Amino acid sequence: MKANGKAPGTSKKKTRGAGVTSFRRRVFSIVRAIPVGRVATYGDVAQLAGAPRAARAVGNVMRTCDDPSVPCHRVTGANGALGGYGSSPLLKRQLLIAEGITLRGGRLREFAKIRWTGRR
The Cα-based distances of 108 to 3, 46, 50, 115 in angstroms read: 25, 20, 25, 10
Q: Residue 33: phi, psi to the nearest 5?
A: -85, -5
Catalytic residue among 31, 72, 101, 114: 72
User: What are the residues binding DNA (CB under 7 A)?
Assistant: 1-6, 8-9, 11-12, 14, 16, 22-24, 41-43, 51, 53-65, 72-73, 75, 77-79, 81, 83-86, 92
Closest approach of DNA to the CB of residue 120, in Å: 19
Residue 65 among the catalytic residues: no
Closest approach of DNA to the CB of residue 35, in Å: 18
Beta strands per DSSP E along the chain: 40-41, 75-76, 103-104, 107-108
Residues carrying an active site annotation: 72
